[in-house]
Amino acid sequence: MALPLTAPHAVDNPDNDPARLAPHRIKRCTYRRLVSLDRAQERIYEVECLFPDRKVPVPLGDLDSAMPVCNACTAAHIFRPDED
């Protein structure tokens, strides 16, 4: 007879906790919009840029693909003051 093994809980290992914040570091921008996608096992966000007029969003993809675009942005006046 095989004994059942218990899987480690997400609470036991904070790296696997789906409720924790993403480890990404993107500058905090007043024109960025994050759209949460419903997934069963993970937290996924799509990033949209609303610069300059906040009318037409420009899709930048997920957090991984948006990070280089947002961090390379040269419009310094759109970033929150605590990021400078």
pLDDT digits (tens, 9 = 90+) for 48-58: 999 888 889 99
Distance between CA atoms of 71 and 69, rounded to whole angstroms? 6
Which amino acid makes up residue 27?
K
Q: What is the model's pLDDT at position 39?
A: 74
Query: What is the torsion angle, in degrees rounded to the nearest 10, for the CA atoms of residue 16, residue 20, residue 26 and residue 31?
Result: 140
In a domain, 15, yes or no: no
Distance between CA atoms of 48 and 13, rounded to whole angstroms? 31
In a domain, 42, yes or no: yes
Question: In degrees rounded to 5, what are phi and psi of residue 39?
Answer: -130, 150
Which pTM value belongs to this model?
A: 0.59
Q: Total structural domains in the chain?
A: 1
Domain containing 77 equals 26-83
25-39 burial, b if ≥16 CB within 10 A, otherwise e? ebbebebbeeeeeee
In a domain, 53, yes or no: yes
Q: What is the pLDDT of residues 30-76, one digit of tens each?
A: 888 888 887 777 778 899 999 888 889 999 998 889 988 888 888 87
